[in-house]
Structure 1
Amino acid sequence: MSYEHLNSFERKAIYYRHNSGESYRSIGRLLNRHHTTIMREVKRNKPPYYTYFDESAEDLAVERKKKPRHAKKFSNKTLYQHVVHKLQEGWSPDAIAGRLKKNHPNDKGKCVSHETIYQWVIKDYQVGGELYKALPKRHKKRKKQRKYGDLRGKIKNRVSIHERPDIVEKRSRIGDWEGDLVEGKKGSGYIVTHVD
């Protein structure tokens, strides 16, 4: 099940129930959330020396969403300098991210994704830096990745299987072909099937 952020209605319920002394577990059951989610919400958004307040918690959550994840990692200067050093040694962002994950499997503060590294390179370029020159292919900007879903329905002059003649369903003649192409894991090859 994918995680969904708390909404303003849930924060309002937490405000009333937490401040009336209700437990995190009880609030979690009411909202169909894990009790640690409620506890983190209160600890993260409760101002010092004051009680939890839903409106200020909502404002803080909105501000956090505006700040991209790569910017949060960027503030970790040791991690950033390590990444820059590895780029200058000729490592690719994928290799750097993979090695960090392997060396620090349980410490997210010492790990970074390849996407974040690319965002750092782009950010550096935007302020006049030349970190992009350390990339293996040296692109100032990344090409937009094409997703496989974007390729569907792009065959020129194709005819949908739903528009084929009724006689094809009878399978009484030769020459009515159906074809399919499946790509395996990158670099492993393709499988083509043709059925008459």
Structure 2
Amino acid sequence: SRALEREVGSVHRMLAKRGGIAPPPRKRSPRALTPEEREAISRGLSANWSSNRIAASLNRAPSTISREIERNGGPIKYRAQQADANAWKSALRPKACALSNRARLRMLVASKLKQQWAPAQISGWLKRQFPVNKLMHLSHETIYRSLYVQARGVLKKELMEHLRTHRVMRRAKKATGSGQNRGAIIDAVSISERPAEVEDRAVPGHWEGDLISGSNNSHIATLVERQSRFVML
């Protein structure tokens, strides 16, 4: 739009009618395991190598190798080609929410929330109730996101009323507003630094401002002329 000196909306509508802008080709993350590394893992497992030995030969963390083997069937069922295809498919974004296509799991979570259960309790109960069926497992963070991010369209907003915190927004336990300067006046001058002529009210024309905040998001700004005491609301 800048190059053509046109409005952004005009360009957007024209592109939308014709399929939009083609996304860039997908690239493998430099941190991800390569097909060659997965083939080396498969050969190492065939030779009865441990995860630590395979990791050392590939200069990778042992936890990276052990997780890779575990998520792809274990040492006996691991196949490099299938593991690489699974990783490529799993990297697709955006991902569907775990609750969106599991009706039974969604109903269980909603029923427990109505009984005043905390998301962490629900997550632990699901793991004990369904120890083998991992499709019925869910993290507490997924439940929170399904509630607070209503765009997912999974759990109804009314269920938030059953949470113990009753927070409108989800935030980390250690989140603080320090260093963010929210509500602070930029380059503010302290009241202790005002001139003496303002302090003794000898010269007219100096004003004091304040803000009164009430219920239902109501506010009143006040201005007081220091000499005459004239007030503006």
TM-score (norm 2): 0.40
Normalization by structure 1: what TM-score? 0.46
Q: Which has the higher contact order (CA 8 A, sep 6+)?
A: 1
Q: Which is helix-richer, 1 or 2?
A: 1
